[in-house]
Structure 1
Amino acid sequence: MKNTIVLIGILLSISAYSQKLSSPNAELELNFELRNGTPIYTLHYKGKEVISESKLGLELVKDDKSLLDGFEVQEVSYADFDDTWKPVWGEQAEIRNHYNEMSVTLYQPEKDRHIILRFRMFDEGLGFRYEFPQQDHLVYFVIKEEHTEFAMTGDHTAFWIPGDYDSQEYDYTRSKLSEINELFDEALTDNASQEQFSKTGVQTSLMMKTDDGVYINLHEAALKEYSLMNLNLDESTLTFKSWLTPDAIGNKGYLQAPAVSPWRTIMVTDDATEILASSMNLNLNEPNALEDTSWIKPIKYMGVWWEMITGKSSWNYTDDLPSVKLGETDYSEATPNKKHAANTEHVKAYIDFASKHGFDALLVEGWNEGWEDWYGHSKDYVFDFVTPYPDFDVKEIQKYAASKDIEMMMHHETSGAIRNYERHLDTAYQFMNEYGYTSVKSGYVGDIIPRGEHHYGQWAINHYLYAAKKAADYKIMVNAHEAVRPTGLRRTYPNLIGNESARGTEFQAFGGSKPNHVTILPFTRLIGGPMDYTPGIFEMDISKLNPDNNSHVNATIANQLALYVTMYSPLQMAADLPENYKRFMDAFQFIKDVAIDWDESHYLEAEPGEYITVARKAKNSPNWFVGNVNGTTPRKTKLKLDFLEKGKTYQATIYADAKDAHYKTNPQAYKISTKKVTNNSTLRLESAPGGGFAISIIEK
């Protein structure tokens, strides 16, 4: 229930004015101050300053005053809220939304306009945003830059990726804030589309740790009808300043009042597990907007995908054609390259394996005409999303999959041609409905068309939400790759069942990722929502699939199993080839057994870049699953099972690294053991470099 108290209802035109707001547990305290017309805030945790004096405001295009200063306090109101809601799917069956709120209405007399700064304080952090009520003198306006500051109190250790308008697909760098500039060039890796803006620019979610053991996380929530926020570090003051993604002509956003910005979020704690367990990002989003959600279901799937990623097979049907014009190119005259994976018989073999082992769905990429010249040409009409290659029989595959109780998952690669995708969106979704596809993996590889726009600019962000809303009209779930990172919108639109928007497993076939990458992602990318990370790789030597590819998957098999628990997603893929699973069927059993929707989640231990251990209770089930992923240092874990129900006995099946396991030299060394356990039991386990363990705990 929300209770509101209006504290001030008269105009205050004094030179300095301040108000405080505390978290429900009183450990966090915000101090808001209007100093000489400029809004400023500070944040304290357990009595110690964690955000020093930081300014708030926005600079507008063609506005000599902007929304930076010259303000007076018009009104301050306080409220408190405490309620519980049930997500359609998620890490827990119920989520508590508990916060104290302060809203400050600021009046700018020189322009006769006002804005509202709304602050919400949770036990684990602060969210705040700018609000622009309907008024006569602030109606249509263009943002030149948002000038939100986050002033750090020291040279913290940070886990960061380069600030970029188009890509988040980087390995994380661990360094002091003062070292970002020096290490920036080393942190860069090539990608299909990327643009950095500063050698001190980083992306959110930004995870930091102070010298005295306080964890700080900066991010945003409810990003819509606005540009994504990067952060740029002022090295002289160690202050991060917001840096919005521009459009093709350099503007940062076009707003019409009434409007709001996304929430800017600061999480603070001295226990890293509380960052992972937080629902603050979700709670800052609006409730579910869909009346009927019965068609939205978590999915465990396989796919004709990894063999193309590794280069064993191809997306394109032929190697004869230097270019394709849809509707004009005659594929019947082209010679098949015999490497095209999305052919009817091959897909049926995958369907057979997925069905035999209890999977829900199968993804097929490269099924449709146009892959011969899809990439790197800034091509607008690149796909039509409904025309299959000659060797892919849509009707036959639909019939065969239905006979095996397997749903087909659609793939829509846009090649960055968003304008073309929107032209075809209704037809593509109708096609999916006709042939029984209930979910779509959409992709946005390459530079955006219209040319000059960016993946994280306001124009593209509006598109991603438009596509999801349109999909809901057709009862289709969306898993968007290369799109903007999630910021909790899946609460409002739960058919947004997954995203990529980070360096996923595919990069293990493109040269590899750091072995501790998966110990950082839950503290960064996953703060805003689940990731379609595509785990479950058992053959780490990619040259065994493609002799021309010398990449190596930097993980052990036990680590790959643990990802199904530590990397939360309602959309989980068994990404490897069936023939590789057949070699390790005893380990594959965990992937078959592990749940994908949960009643409870307990974060047992965590340190960013080092290790994470998570226990989750399956939805509507007494069974539990535990996962541990480890960084580069061998580690021992003393695992107490006190989260289990008292008085019950369970059978624990433990999938662990063998004593000589190592992500690089011996990644397929694992051991499986079973043990009867209760809530009084303690397990002592060891994790290899790049390793971990996975445990299924089944009630007897």
Structure 2
Amino acid sequence: MKQKTINAQASLYDNFSVSDTKTSSFDETWKPVWGEEREIRNHYNELAVSLTQKGTEREMIVRFRLFNDGLGFRYEFPQQKNLIYFVIREERTQFAMSGNHTAFWIPGDYDTQEYDYTTSRLSEIRGLNEKARTANVSQSSFSPTGVQTALMMKTNEGLYINLHEAALIDYPCMHLNLDDKNFVFTSWLTPDAKGDKGYMQAPRTTPWRTVIVSDDARDILASRITYNLNEPCKIKDPSWIKPVKYVGVWWEMITGKSSWSYTNELPSVQLGVTDYTKVKPNGTHGANTANVKKYIDFAAANGFDGVLVEGWNIGWEDWFGNSKDYVFDFVTPYPDFDMKEIRDYAKSKGIKMIMHHETSSSVRNYERHMDQAYQYMKDNGYDAVKSGYVGDILPRGENHYSQWLVNHYQYAIEKAAQYKIMVNAHEAVRPTGIARTYPNLIGNESARGTEYQAFGGSKPNHVTLLPFTRLLGGPMDYTPGIFEMDISKLNPENKSHVNSTLANQLALYVTLYSPLQMAADLPENYERFSDAFQFIKDVAVDWDISKYLEAEPGQYITVARKAKGSNNWFVGNVCGENGFKSSINFSFLDPGKTYIATIYADAKDAHYKTNPQAYTIRKVLVKNKSKLVQQSAPGGATPLA
């Protein structure tokens, strides 16, 4: 570790000697509030190395925890008289690679993770990163060789390596900067508006730096190191936290079929000034009472838990890109959104409404209104919120992943817990296992989600990489379930295409774990393919057991999961551009029992571009000694229920 302060004191880089070492072992089994399995084992050997700096007598501890599948280490600054307040100029943790490995990476951007993954050799990152960075709207990538974690790699010898961090609390998010001649990664912390990295007061610890290693890709997916390095649940009674399957007024806005805003009258619309009853509606506003009630009816008829509505509140006419502090108040509906009528109607149908809070990255404004907004939610029966942080951060010059913003996201989670509200944060910092400690964080975006399929499309292999990277830190609100791949049928001006087969969209409910799963398409498209929609209605969102059957990053993933509290198993396989012949061994089933498997598969002529809606459904009997060989199309999948 190499840390330098910006004051005149000696740096924390050198002149340390070992003053003590302590070893210990730990073994526990804990039960997550929700998760991929009902129990998680946390078993490690620990080494704490105490260091004393010559001349200053300052103390530091480097703590290592070694698990069967990898290790975590962090830096600790105990209470001491010679080190109290200090500012981090940089952290110099290094990860030395043994060769020019294959990497699956996204650029080291301070403000977004919403990139397609690139697969390349380490030596190729410099050229490809610069090309990817200039093609993206954001230009804040710190270095031509910078990448984000979780970083997935594979050696020529077939060893899989993953670098990430855990328990990111009151500290800037870590990126990795590559010396592409010697193949050494060095940590690079997200700076604040002044260029500083972190403000510390002892006693303090850094987040854990994690290394997960195996010669079997399935072990990377099964690793729980990230969660285990976080503190146990701090919510005394988490019984109010429930997994959610939902629909919503969202995809029609993403595709351009309808709009978030109520009027097109600009720039006269000002919060607290404009009387929206006197402006001319644009006729395309999606969050109107009649439309929302249709979604409530659809959710109730098909067994969903909730309905999300975006664009319900005043302020959307000039919310983006104007560096505007007071954007939304989070409590005032548009004239065509009757909060009371919708609240009562949803309650009569047994449906929970999900609130939407877009901050437009005016973070001070959100904190200004947060208590009032959360109380407004509870007063109107909302137990979950989808928050958003689109655009440049206010205060100006701050980055999405700097210490100040990391602290804001944590503040929002903890404040929501006080009101018994679940949080689904979009555009926030990538998760690092915090959901173990605060399980009301039931989802994040923090990666390139389904919306990009309506913004020009994503690579077919994207969904085979997310479980090896982004999902190691916590669940993602990916919003799968798109059945109409030709976006121009929803909006003639949008020529995007969803690069996935319909069967692939079904399998994502199994392969991309989340306790928060959206059926993202329009109700009419589910009615067109009602037999395939049955899988989305049936699939669970909380699990007792998860088995990783086949895996290769960027190519394919096959997962089997047993639904929480039942004997129902679901199996999902997704693949990339090349297709994949899956060979599923059902040895995970109980011996001596016969199961009826419903197989939703790509048809023989299916292809994500040319024939994405071609699928077959058949039923077969299987036992724990059965095997199934099934071909998945390019960009396709094989989901089983």
TM-score tier after normalising by the smaller chain length = over 0.9
Amino acid across the alignment from 1:542: I
State the alpha-carbon separation in 1 of the partners of residues 134 and 40 from structure 2: 38
**Worse overlay, 322-331 or 254-263:** 322-331
State the alpha-carbon separation in 2 of the partners of residues 591 and 322 from structure 1: 43
Structure 2 counterpart of 1:326: 271
State the alpha-carbon separation in 1 of the partners of residues 523 and 134 from structure 2: 31
State the alpha-carbon separation in 2 of the partners of residues 515 and 85 from structure 1: 36
Secondary structure, aligned partner of 2:130: helix
What are the equivalent positions in structure 2 for 1:549-564 lying under 5 Å apart?
549-564=494-509
Structure 2 counterpart of 1:171: 116
Structure 2 counterpart of 1:11: none
Given the alignment, which residue of 233, 236, 241 partners 2:178? 233
Query: Following TM superposition, by how much is the alpha carbon of 1:190 offset from its aligned partner in structure 2, in angstroms?
Result: 5.8
Amino acid across the alignment from 2:409: Y
Structure 2 counterpart of 1:614: 559
State the alpha-carbon separation in 2 of the partners of residues 100 and 93 from structure 1: 24
Given the alignment, which residue of 411, 424, 427 partners 1:479? 424
Quick check: 1:109 aligned with 2:54?
Answer: yes
Structure 1 counterpart of 2:609: 664
Given the alignment, which residue of 442, 457, 469 partners 1:497? 442
Structure 1 counterpart of 2:79: 134
Structure 2 counterpart of 1:633: 578
Q: Is the 8 A contact 1:281 1:488 kept in 2?
A: yes
What are the equivalent positions in structure 2 for 1:425-444 lying under 5 Å apart?
425-444=370-389
Q: Is the 8 A contact 1:107 1:115 kept in 2?
A: yes
Amino acid across the alignment from 2:515: P
State the alpha-carbon separation in 2 of the partners of residues 381 and 323 from structure 1: 15
Q: Is the 8 A contact 2:133 2:141 kept in 1?
A: no
Structure 2 counterpart of 1:40: none
State the alpha-carbon separation in 2 of the partners of residues 325 and 634 from structure 1: 52
> CA, structure 1 residues 393+194, in 2 after alignment: closer, same or farther (shift >3 Å)?
farther
Structure 2 counterpart of 1:690: 635
Amino acid across the alignment from 2:263: T
Amino acid across the alignment from 2:319: W
Q: Is the 8 A contact 2:123 2:181 kept in 1?
A: no
Amino acid across the alignment from 1:388: P
Cα deviations by residue, 1:433-454 (Å, 9 ceiling, x for unpaired): 0000000000000011111111
Q: Is the 8 A contact 2:2 2:90 kept in 1?
A: no
Q: Is the 8 A contact 2:295 2:523 kept in 1?
A: yes
Given the alignment, which residue of 65, 68, 92 partners 1:147? 92
Structure 2 counterpart of 1:313: 258
Given the alignment, which residue of 167, 174, 197 partners 1:222? 167
Structure 2 counterpart of 1:99: 44
Quick check: 1:459 aligned with 2:404?
Answer: yes
Given the alignment, which residue of 135, 142, 148 partners 1:203? 148
Structure 1 counterpart of 2:26: 81
Secondary structure, aligned partner of 2:331: coil
Structure 1 counterpart of 2:222: 277
State the alpha-carbon separation in 1 of the partners of residues 390 and 210 from structure 2: 29
Q: Is the 8 A contact 1:192 1:447 kept in 2?
A: no
Given the alignment, which residue of 420, 427, 446 partners 2:391? 446
Structure 1 counterpart of 2:511: 566
State the alpha-carbon separation in 2 of the partners of residues 676 and 623 from structure 1: 14
**Structure with the larger RCO, 1 or 2 (CA within 8 Å, 6+ apart):** 2
Query: Following TM superposition, by how much is the alpha carbon of 1:324 offset from its aligned partner in structure 2, in angstroms?
Result: 2.5
Quick check: 1:513 aligned with 2:471?
Answer: no
Cα deviations by residue, 1:369-391 (Å, 9 ceiling, x for unpaired): 00000001011100000000000
Query: Following TM superposition, by how much is the alpha carbon of 1:634 offset from its aligned partner in structure 2, in angstroms?
Result: 2.5
Query: Following TM superposition, by how much is the alpha carbon of 1:64 offset from its aligned partner in structure 2, in angstroms?
Result: 4.7
Quick check: 1:302 aligned with 2:250?
Answer: no
State the alpha-carbon separation in 1 of the partners of residues 268 and 163 from structure 2: 45
State the alpha-carbon separation in 2 of the partners of residues 546 and 191 from structure 1: 24
State the alpha-carbon separation in 2 of the partners of residues 375 and 334 from structure 1: 20
Query: Following TM superposition, by how much is the alpha carbon of 1:656 offset from its aligned partner in structure 2, in angstroms?
Result: 0.3
Cα deviations by residue, 1:161-186 (Å, 9 ceiling, x for unpaired): 00011000000000000000111133
Structure 2 counterpart of 1:342: 287
State the alpha-carbon separation in 2 of the partners of residues 191 and 288 from structure 1: 38
Q: Is the 8 A contact 1:486 1:499 kept in 2?
A: yes
Q: Is the 8 A contact 1:166 1:194 kept in 2?
A: no
> CA, structure 1 residues 579+299, in 2 after alignment: closer, same or farther (shift >3 Å)?
same
Cα deviations by residue, 1:390-446 (Å, 9 ceiling, x for unpaired): 000000000000111100000000000000000000000000000000000000000
Query: Following TM superposition, by how much is the alpha carbon of 1:194 offset from its aligned partner in structure 2, in angstroms?
Result: 5.2
State the alpha-carbon separation in 1 of the partners of residues 134 and 462 from structure 2: 15
State the alpha-carbon separation in 1 of the partners of residues 179 and 10 from structure 2: 24
State the alpha-carbon separation in 2 of the partners of residues 500 and 407 from structure 1: 21
Amino acid across the alignment from 2:479: T
Query: Following TM superposition, by how much is the alpha carbon of 1:192 offset from its aligned partner in structure 2, in angstroms?
Result: 6.3
Quick check: 1:538 aligned with 2:483?
Answer: yes
Structure 1 counterpart of 2:337: 392
Query: Following TM superposition, by how much is the alpha carbon of 1:187 offset from its aligned partner in structure 2, in angstroms?
Result: 2.2
Q: Is the 8 A contact 1:304 1:347 kept in 2?
A: yes
Given the alignment, which residue of 314, 317, 325 partners 1:369? 314
Query: Following TM superposition, by how much is the alpha carbon of 1:649 offset from its aligned partner in structure 2, in angstroms?
Result: 1.4
Secondary structure, aligned partner of 1:639: strand
Amino acid across the alignment from 2:19: Q
Structure 2 counterpart of 1:653: 598
Runs of 4+ in 1 over 6 A off after TM superposition: none
Given the alignment, which residue of 567, 577, 580 partners 2:525? 580
State the alpha-carbon separation in 2 of the partners of residues 194 and 602 from structure 1: 40
Secondary structure, aligned partner of 1:375: coil
Q: Is the 8 A contact 1:165 1:194 kept in 2?
A: no
Query: Following TM superposition, by how much is the alpha carbon of 1:68 offset from its aligned partner in structure 2, in angstroms?
Result: 1.0
Query: Following TM superposition, by how much is the alpha carbon of 1:111 offset from its aligned partner in structure 2, in angstroms?
Result: 1.1
Structure 2 counterpart of 1:424: 369
State the alpha-carbon separation in 2 of the partners of residues 64 and 485 from structure 1: 33
State the alpha-carbon separation in 1 of the partners of residues 19 and 126 from structure 2: 42
Query: Following TM superposition, by how much is the alpha carbon of 1:276 offset from its aligned partner in structure 2, in angstroms?
Result: 0.2
Query: Following TM superposition, by how much is the alpha carbon of 1:594 offset from its aligned partner in structure 2, in angstroms?
Result: 0.1
Query: Following TM superposition, by how much is the alpha carbon of 1:63 offset from its aligned partner in structure 2, in angstroms?
Result: 3.9
Amino acid across the alignment from 1:380: D
Secondary structure, aligned partner of 1:581: helix
State the alpha-carbon separation in 2 of the partners of residues 477 and 637 from structure 1: 37
State the alpha-carbon separation in 1 of the partners of residues 137 and 112 from structure 2: 9
Secondary structure, aligned partner of 1:533: coil
Query: Following TM superposition, by how much is the alpha carbon of 1:62 offset from its aligned partner in structure 2, in angstroms?
Result: 1.7
The number of equivalent residue pairs is: 641
State the alpha-carbon separation in 1 of the partners of residues 175 and 225 from structure 2: 20
Q: Is the 8 A contact 1:323 1:373 kept in 2?
A: no
Instruction: Give structure 2 stretches of 5+ with no counterpart.
Output: none
Query: Following TM superposition, by how much is the alpha carbon of 1:205 offset from its aligned partner in structure 2, in angstroms?
Result: 0.2
Query: Following TM superposition, by how much is the alpha carbon of 1:188 offset from its aligned partner in structure 2, in angstroms?
Result: 3.1
Query: Following TM superposition, by how much is the alpha carbon of 1:235 offset from its aligned partner in structure 2, in angstroms?
Result: 1.7
Secondary structure, aligned partner of 1:651: strand
Cα deviations by residue, 1:332-360 (Å, 9 ceiling, x for unpaired): 11111110000000000010011100000
RMSD of aligned residue pairs (Cα, Å): 0.9
Structure 2 counterpart of 1:158: 103
Query: Following TM superposition, by how much is the alpha carbon of 1:367 offset from its aligned partner in structure 2, in angstroms?
Result: 0.2
Query: Please, what TM-score do these two structures have when normalized by structure 2?
Result: 0.99
Quick check: 1:185 aligned with 2:130?
Answer: yes
Q: Is the 8 A contact 2:133 2:139 kept in 1?
A: no
Secondary structure, aligned partner of 1:347: helix
Q: Which has the higher strand share?
A: 1
Cα deviations by residue, 1:227-246 (Å, 9 ceiling, x for unpaired): 00000001221100000000
Query: Following TM superposition, by how much is the alpha carbon of 1:110 offset from its aligned partner in structure 2, in angstroms?
Result: 1.1
State the alpha-carbon separation in 2 of the partners of residues 292 and 634 from structure 1: 45
Amino acid across the alignment from 1:173: T
Cα deviations by residue, 1:93-114 (Å, 9 ceiling, x for unpaired): 0000000110000000211111
State the alpha-carbon separation in 1 of the partners of residues 134 and 251 from structure 2: 21
Cα deviations by residue, 1:494-542 (Å, 9 ceiling, x for unpaired): 1000000000000000000000000001000001000000000000000
